[in-house]
Each structure stands twice: as C-alpha cells, then as structure tokens.
A and B are shown apart, each in its own frame.
Chain A
Amino acid sequence: MSHHDEENSAAGRADEFLQVFKKGAEFTQDLLKENERLRFRVVKLEETLKEKGHDVVTDGPEALELKKKILELEQEKEEILGQIKVVEEENQNFANRYVEIEEENNMLANLYIASYQLHSTLDFKEVLKIIQEIVINLIGAEEFGVLLLDEKTNLLEPVASEGIEISALPSIAVGSGIIGESVGSGENYFIESMQGYERDLHKPIVCIPLKIKEHVIGVISIYNLFEQKDEFTNVDYELFTLLAGHAATAVFSSRMYSDSERKLSTIQGFIDLLTK
C-alpha cells in the first residue's frame, strides 16, 4: 500500500469516528430532552394527583361520613374519660370512707372493751387499776393522778397515780385552781398549747371530772403524755367522755359495794357476838 492510500484510509476512519461521535451527541441531546419532558410530566401528574386527592378528602360523601364518625368517637372518648374520672373519684371516696369506718369500728371496739372492763368488777382497787390501764394504754398518758371527792371535807384526795408518787399529789378544794374549777363546773379541761409546758401538779394538761349525770365524784388529772404521743385524737375525746361516765359509775358502785361489805361484816360480827 502506498503512502497516499494510507492517508486516505486514515481520513476515512476519522470521518467514520466523527460521524459516530456526532450521532452519539445527538442521541445524548435527545435523551436530555426526553428527561426534561418526563420530569415536567411527573411534576404535572403530581400536581394533578394532589389536586384530585384533595378534592376526594374534602368533598366526597364517604369522607364526610368518616369525619362525622371521627367526631362521634371523639365525643364518646371524652364522655368515657369523664366517666372514668368520676368513677376514680368515687373509688377514692369509698376508700377514704372505708378507712374512716375501720377507724370508727376500732374506736367502738376500744370503747366497748374499756367500758366492759370497767364494769367487770366490784373491787374498788381493781376498778382504779383498770382506769389507770385505760389512761396509759388507750390515751397514752405517762403521768397522771386520780382524785376522788371526799364529801365531808369537800376536798379532792388522790387515790391512784402513774409516773408520780401518790404522796406528791396535792389535795385540792373544789372550785380552787384548774382542777378544782373543772370539778366545780363538771367540764373537761384541756390546756391550750403543750408547747413549753412544765409539770405543775396544780396545773395539769387535761382534767376529766368523773361524773354520774351531773354529780361529780372525782377527777383524772393528766400531767404528761408519752413522747410518741404529741396530740390528742378524736378517739381520746371519746374516751374522755366515756371515762367521765363509766369510770365514775364503776368507782361509785365498787366503793359502795366495798362499804356495804365492810358494814355487813361488822354487823355479822355483832350478830355472832350476840348469838354466841
């Protein structure tokens, strides 16, 4: 092959290559255009769908029905939530009431046993012991005295004590001082505040006159409570009222019984002496 022929052949191949390249460029241009067109179409379709979709949700009868149903369910839910709240409150009230009833039940049981014990004996000393047990264990008093009225002298004389020597307790005239006034009026006395209180045997923190109806036969004077007992509860006030009545009748009847027993034994002694 001559040099001239070689040159012609190379030029032909370059031409061919250019043709192919040109076609490739045209094809790429077509692809880009098609891409552009399709993208435009996609956007259009999306817009249409969006529009159509919007129309269906807002205007269609099914959508309206569903909306109505949702509203109804929402209302129902609110009502149920309200009812649950009411039931919860009722439950809480029942629980509180149950605790109150339990407390009342226990208080009544305590009062029943205390009064039962007070009237279970005609032994004067035993009655005094039971009063002491009640005041210690049910009221929580650490230091107190029981004083009974001597009707001949009109003086309140100590007959029992706890936490204080009985000999240390003073005799008190009816109407004199806190204890005497409480006995005179027949009204329970409670100190206004126990803060800063220092024991004074003439100034107790509580005075409970022992009464049979309006007739006062003695008094319980409390000077100190246990360290774990810092205030009086409703049960205590009930117990004070109970003590005022039941302890008084128990003391009175046991004392009467002791006196009559003593008199009976004296009379029996005389009879024995006369009949011998």
Chain B
Amino acid sequence: MTGYKVLVVEDSPTMRQLIVFALKRIRGFQIVEANDGVDGLKKLSAEKFDLILTDINMPIMDGLKLVSMVRNDPNYKETPIIVITTEGAIEDRERALALGANEYITKPIQTMKILETVKKLMSV
C-alpha cells in the first residue's frame, strides 16, 4: 500500500468519475473529489494531499487560480499538480506550468496518459 492521498478537482461529475475510476486502479490511492477551485482549496486545507489533479475551466474558481494559490501555500510547495483541460493552446500550457503545475494533459480524456503521468510523478 502506497497510501497516497489524491485530490481530484473537476466540475463535471462525469469527468470526475472517469478520472477517479482510472486512479482507483493504482493500489493504495485514497481519492477525494472537489467540484471547483474553492471546494478544492477547502479540502486542501482540511487535510494533506500528496497529488492534485485539476481541470482549468470551472465555475467560482478556475484551475489556474487554484494552482497559483496552492503553490503559495508552504504545505504544498512540492506537491505534484496535474492539469487536465480542454485548452490545447501552447500559451495555456506554458501559463499553467509557469504557475506551478507539473504536468499538463489535454482532453479528450486519455486514461492511459493520465495513469502514466501519475505513476511517473508519484514513482509508483
């Protein structure tokens, strides 16, 4: 058991379920879901997470704002963040990475790519 705690921030329940379903295939991952950036921040402050996956386009607080705020939190300076988004432009990718995201994956959802990236970042 690796015992990693993972936060999935995604406003679409269908997509959230898809990502969670994929991550559950990695043994020992405890997954917590959040509907948007604000919900995500609330959950991040309530307990410590080892990995964050977030969408960009979300209501209330988008994923980029969330990435930026997470990186300003001393508890999450080194925590890997994966952005999963429909935004495919190079400047969007660069912006997310500049704000502190570790990986940037574009939609449509590619489960294998998500799993490979997670495994690489978490060395599992």
Interface positions of A (Cβ within 8 A of B): 102-103, 106, 109-110, 113-114, 116-117, 130, 133-134, 136-140, 142, 226-229
Q: Are A136 and B107 in contact (CB under 8 A)?
A: yes
B28 interfacial by beta-carbon distance below 8 Å:
no
Q: Are A227 and B107 in contact (CB under 8 A)?
A: no
> C-beta contact mask, B85-104 vs A, less than 8 Å → 1, else 0?
01011000000000000000
Residues on the B chain within 8 Å of A106, using CB: 22, 111-112
B3 interfacial by beta-carbon distance below 8 Å:
no
Q: Are A226 and B107 in contact (CB under 8 A)?
A: yes
B15 interfacial by beta-carbon distance below 8 Å:
yes
Interface positions of B (Cβ within 8 A of A): 12-15, 17-18, 21-22, 86, 88-89, 106-109, 111-112
Q: Are B88 and A114 in contact (CB under 8 A)?
A: no
Closest-by-CB residue of B relative to A107 is: B111
Q: Are A229 and B14 in contact (CB under 8 A)?
A: no
Q: Are B14 and A117 in contact (CB under 8 A)?
A: yes
Task: Give A276 to B89 CA distance when docked, in angstroms.
Answer: 64
Task: Give A114 to B12 CA distance when docked, in angstroms.
Answer: 12
Residues on the A chain within 8 Å of B88, using CB: 226-229
Q: Are B89 and A227 in contact (CB under 8 A)?
A: yes
Q: Are A226 and B109 in contact (CB under 8 A)?
A: no
Task: Give A109 to B111 CA distance when docked, in angstroms.
Answer: 9
Task: Give A137 to B89 CA distance when docked, in angstroms.
Answer: 16
Task: Give A140 to B12 CA distance when docked, in angstroms.
Answer: 15
